[in-house]
Structure 1
Amino acid sequence: MNRRHFFQSLGVAASSFALPAWATQTGLTQAGTSNKFAPLFQANPKLTCLRGYRGQDVSCDKAWVEGKIPADLRGDFFRNGPGLFERGGQRYHHWFDGDGMVHAWRFSDQGVSHQARFVQTKKFAAEQQAGEFLVPAFGTAIEPKIPLRSSDTMNTANTNVIKMDGRLLALWEGGSAHGMDATSLQTQGMVSWSPELAGMPFSAHPKVEADGTMWNFGTMLDKVVMYQFSPQGKLVKHHVMKCPRSAMVHDFVVSQKHLIFIFSPIALNMDLLHSGRSMVNSMEWKGNESSKVLIVEKADFTKSRILEIPALMLFHFGNAWEENNVIRLDFVKSEDLRNFNTWMPKIMRGEDVTSEPSTPAFLTIDLNRNKISMTERSDTLEFPRVDPRVVGQRNQFLYYPVAVNKADNNTLNGVMRLDLESGKTDGFDFGDRCRLEEHVLVPKAGSRKEGEAWLVGVGFDIEKQTSFASVFDAQNLSAGPVALAHLPYWVPHCFHGNFYSHA
């Protein structure tokens, strides 16, 4: 589908539907604004997808498809992200604070459907009943109105969703995973891997290798817990160890033999926290200190080493692999905390602001000499993904949503493939009227080669105020999407998710 047909299809798709009943019943207008909450979130069509819902579930039995969904693309594309930001006349200050909403885009012979339900955490249920916020949030200082028994009292289950042993897990890095039924999206409650691990942090970024082995971690200031699971979803081993102190470690990466973490120099000012500030507003950037690289052996979690690199900020890794005792990995680099604690609160008020660029960076870690070197590119992007068949193995390609217009760094409006061997890129520009979420790779049926896949993601059309799923041939992004599945409504912007093909 070329660029002109893409824009034409967006217009047709949006005009083919009336606004759903819930949108008018809750006071939403076509532009997604609300008189009741106008002082909290100023009307800004570019940011409607960050406005949030009121707690309602939504569904669409058959999205309007432009183009043709590939015959071998059959399965469930699960997404998770913050879906509710306002209660009782109060709005969260930070995107990370919203209650988790899990989405299921289902690709079948009958077409594409969409279903989304809020994760029924104890927090969500209590606050829905009370009609107000009851507990502090990560980035918003709220006076607690119920006992804070553990971090799970504040668990929003809003960051990622994976399928494990037949059920979904809605993930939030500060506490327990929440189990969900993969068909109905009904919440089944918090998951504990063993009695001694109940309530332990379980990161939103587990790494799943091609054989189904899964690795994950959780941090508690100067402690890290690491997990290994079998392809059948059974806990193989875990270990708690002392680690470099950092107020936030969001992601990690695995190679053939190691788990690798980067601890940015972020201090938590306990005096500010105890004075009533949020955790985000109590974080302090220590740019004169180094970032610490923790390297742990997969075969024995008790064996590790720590190396140092100049101070940098990151949220997401792409992949890692090693050869001859040299690890190569990639991540998305920022200079400091400004995007996190300055830019995000502004967009949560509906303000148009330009973020600091986040760019691709690449580390070479020589374990023979304990030396690290880094190279960088200038592209502005986020949310790197690789073909799931090469997780923890040597990869040639990386895929990202990218900010094509660098004057507006906070709008990811294109997709890009980077060839690590040649340095060449392939991509598609959706234009100023769209903003994109993370895109994931779905291997084509019968394929064996890395990159022989479909690239599937979700976007928001600013002009029509509706959301869509897009499908690209990952080997030819510049040709444009081969199919778009349009919803008759917009959905809150998500963080992460995964596609599970039908057998």
Structure 2
Amino acid sequence: MTLAPEHSASDTDFEELVARPFESQLREYDYEVTEVDGTLPPELTGTLFRIGPGKFEVGTTVLRTIFDADGMVSRFILDGSSVRFTNRYVRTQQFRDGLQDSAMRRRGITTNVPGKLLANLRLPANTANTNIVPLGGEMLALWEGGPPHRIDPNTLETLGTNDFGGKLGYVGAFSAHPKWDPVTGEMFNFGLDVFPTPRLRCYRVSADGRMSQINSVTLWDMGWNHDFALTEKYLVFVLDPIRPNIGQLIRGKSFDESLEYQLTNGSTKFILVPRDGSKPLVFEHDPQLHIHVTNAFQDGPDAVVEFVRYESLDFLRRTLDAAMGPKDHPNPHHHLVVREFPDSHLVRFRISPTGRITEEVVSQSAKIEFPQYDWRQSTRNHQITYTAGTLEREGHYNGIFKFDHRTGTMTHCDFGKASVCEPIFVPRNKDAAQDDGWLLAVNHDLVENRSQLVILDARDVEQGPLAVAHLTHHLPIGFHGTFTPRVADPFAPLPHPALLS
């Protein structure tokens, strides 16, 4: 393992660098990338779709956190010899409102409408900024509090929303982390209804987009939940004791202000929802703290689920406290820089249908997030987990980490003064072994203030990139994405050639 160097720039320089991922990108681009270091693998063909917050203002209102920012799709087309980049904003209602020279009209998750009590009693605006996945020949831009936005994969035009024929329930929630059965090709997902009745709605979606509800789980002490996992038998949920106070929401508090952390007197719920629609199983355990789940699988009657567990809640509370009272700084979102990354581990929990729960730590202590794996191993015991991470105390995730569960080893590739997104694994071919393929990640070089597509050999991340495709500009901090083997049409007419129209 190669240790990342401590940042040697002055404190002022460092403060400026770490704020750069929170700068809005106000242009939409479409061009062939001409500056490429190394050699693009000729067998690597397809399209990488990424999405994340792109614009941190709505009209004249500066947003409190990145979670309320307009979703921006970034697309990298790889044909084996070149890379073409395109970015487009999802044309949500909030995006269209934000083109006006006025204050925001719809509340966000963390940003309230200035001086409008009644407006802050409504559901938050759907920003379509969290994940982008394929379904039925289209792409879906996902945001967990509302219905997906349909995106044309060739033009990146927004085609409207998809409520699956009105089957999403009162809130319309559809999680940003669907899972797929590699045998049937079905998509599974959930929607979290915080009110009027707190429940998990569990869905099955056919490859052509037809939805059916598997079950719903009503829990009056329901916690906030962002992700889940899938086995051949169950949808597996890990609900930590982080719960919104409905009374505070009704009184106009933002969602993050209403969250209560009950780690001393609360418990984590492991919920197994059978795919056949039979009765869900709910078990309580010692409180955990996580955001993202890697994968799950059946081991006999037991379900085994892997996720990144944080060892401290302090970083999250400090980040939210800073968001509530940011200090003066040229970049209004500078307060979102993590000031001390928490240690975290990959853990696997075994849940028996009888309620017996055991835990295994399957990685060294590190500062990691955004776990990924070979998605052909969904519902199966995967051998490798890839994550973004850092060896620094503060700043951003600036490296790609690989955890080999066969050997218990951790290796990584460090990008220095950078902000790197989750690594996406692409197999060399459909029959390739686990780990035989590439890792694709979007990295923001903070010194040059330009982003780049980084391609690593998944078998040896420590050797560094095989190829780096340098963009001419920066991309703001991103969330999630998908690689599709289909090469998108690079010459499809683009619907929005002007700047943010």
TM class, shorter-chain normalised? 0.7 to 0.9
Listed as ranges, the matches of 1:51-70 within 5 Å are 51-54=23-26, 56-70=27-41
| 1:250 match | 226
- Tell me, in whole angstroms, the C-alpha distance in 2 between the residues paired with 1:362 and 1:353: 23
User: Does the residue aligned with 1:154 lie in a helix, a strand or coil?
Assistant: coil
- Tell me, in whole angstroms, the C-alpha distance in 1 between the residues paired with 2:86 and 2:413: 27
For the 8 Å contact 1:280–1:341, the answer to whether it is kept is no
Q: What do the CA deviations read for 1:9-33 (whole angstroms, capped 9, x no partner)?
A: xxxxxxxxxxxxxxxxxxxxxxxxx
Amino acid at match of 1:324: G
User: Does the residue aligned with 2:98 lie in a helix, a strand or coil?
Assistant: helix
Asked if residue 44 in structure 1 is aligned to residue 16 in structure 2, the reply is yes
For the 8 Å contact 2:126–2:146, the answer to whether it is kept is yes
Amino acid at match of 1:164: L
Asked if residue 386 in structure 1 is aligned to residue 362 in structure 2, the reply is no
| 1:365 match | 350
| 1:27 match | none
Asked if residue 314 in structure 1 is aligned to residue 299 in structure 2, the reply is no
Asked if residue 174 in structure 1 is aligned to residue 158 in structure 2, the reply is no
Amino acid at match of 1:327: A
Range that drifts further, 175-184 or 59-68 = 59-68
TM-score normalized by the length of structure 1 = 0.85
User: Does the residue aligned with 1:125 lie in a helix, a strand or coil?
Assistant: helix
Amino acid at match of 2:271: L
For the 8 Å contact 2:147–2:168, the answer to whether it is kept is no
User: Does the residue aligned with 1:457 lie in a helix, a strand or coil?
Assistant: strand
- Tell me, in whole angstroms, the C-alpha distance in 1 between the residues paired with 2:209 and 2:432: 25
| 1:399 match | 386
- Tell me, in whole angstroms, the C-alpha distance in 1 between the residues paired with 2:349 and 2:425: 25
- Tell me, in whole angstroms, the C-alpha distance in 2 between the residues paired with 1:343 and 1:501: 38
Amino acid at match of 1:140: T
Aligned partner (choices 135, 140, 144) of residue 164 of structure 1: 135
Asked if residue 327 in structure 1 is aligned to residue 293 in structure 2, the reply is no
- Tell me, in whole angstroms, the C-alpha distance in 2 between the residues paired with 1:76 and 1:412: 24
Aligned partner (choices 461, 464, 477) of residue 493 of structure 1: 477
- Tell me, in whole angstroms, the C-alpha distance in 2 between the residues paired with 1:106 and 1:384: 23
For the 8 Å contact 1:281–1:341, the answer to whether it is kept is no
For the 8 Å contact 1:135–1:145, the answer to whether it is kept is no
User: Does the residue aligned with 2:100 lie in a helix, a strand or coil?
Assistant: helix
Query: What are the ranges of 5 or more consecutive residues in structure 1 without an aligned counterpart?
Result: 8-41
Displacement after TM superposition at 1:357 (Å): 1.1
Change (3 A) 1:146 1:131: farther
Change (3 A) 1:337 1:179: farther
For the 8 Å contact 2:60–2:104, the answer to whether it is kept is no
Change (3 A) 1:262 1:500: same
Q: What do the CA deviations read for 1:208-247 (whole angstroms, capped 9, x no partner)?
A: 2323221100111321111112233322444333136335
Change (3 A) 1:138 1:84: same
User: Does the residue aligned with 2:367 lie in a helix, a strand or coil?
Assistant: coil
Change (3 A) 1:389 1:286: same
Range that drifts further, 227-236 or 460-469 = 227-236
User: Does the residue aligned with 1:134 lie in a helix, a strand or coil?
Assistant: coil
- Tell me, in whole angstroms, the C-alpha distance in 2 between the residues paired with 1:210 and 1:333: 26
- Tell me, in whole angstroms, the C-alpha distance in 1 between the residues paired with 2:233 and 2:470: 42
- Taking only aligned residues, the RMSD between alpha carbons, in angstroms, comes to 2.5
Listed as ranges, the matches of 1:49-448 within 5 Å are 49-54=21-26, 56-109=27-80, 111-143=82-114, 144=116, 151=123, 154-197=125-168, 200-211=172-183, 212-221=185-194, 222-243=198-219, 245-287=221-263, 288-300=265-277, 302-335=278-311, 338-343=314-319, 345=323, 349-351=333-335, 353-376=338-361, 377-405=364-392, 407-408=393-394, 410-431=395-416, 433-448=417-432
Range that drifts further, 89-98 or 332-341 = 332-341
Amino acid at match of 2:262: K
Q: What do the CA deviations read for 1:344-396 (whole angstroms, capped 9, x no partner)?
A: 52696314542341512323324154111223341110000010110111111
- Tell me, in whole angstroms, the C-alpha distance in 2 between the residues paired with 1:358 and 1:260: 24
Displacement after TM superposition at 1:89 (Å): 4.2
For the 8 Å contact 2:384–2:405, the answer to whether it is kept is yes
User: Does the residue aligned with 2:307 lie in a helix, a strand or coil?
Assistant: strand
Change (3 A) 1:427 1:267: closer
| 1:23 match | none
For the 8 Å contact 2:315–2:338, the answer to whether it is kept is no
Amino acid at match of 1:172: W
For the 8 Å contact 1:343–1:355, the answer to whether it is kept is no
Identity %: 28
- Tell me, in whole angstroms, the C-alpha distance in 2 between the residues paired with 1:60 and 1:129: 28
Displacement after TM superposition at 1:155 (Å): 0.4
Range that drifts further, 236-245 or 226-235 = 236-245
Amino acid at match of 1:498: T
- Tell me, in whole angstroms, the C-alpha distance in 2 between the residues paired with 1:336 and 1:278: 24
| 1:12 match | none
Displacement after TM superposition at 1:485 (Å): 0.6
Change (3 A) 1:98 1:427: same
Displacement after TM superposition at 1:497 (Å): 0.3
Amino acid at match of 1:305: L
Range that drifts further, 196-205 or 465-474 = 196-205
Change (3 A) 1:104 1:53: same
For the 8 Å contact 2:130–2:480, the answer to whether it is kept is yes
Range that drifts further, 315-324 or 170-179 = 315-324
TM-score normalized by the length of structure 2 = 0.85
- Tell me, in whole angstroms, the C-alpha distance in 2 between the residues paired with 1:49 and 1:478: 25
Change (3 A) 1:411 1:43: closer
Q: What do the CA deviations read for 1:322-342 (whole angstroms, capped 9, x no partner)?
A: 111122221112256544453
Displacement after TM superposition at 1:110 (Å): 5.0
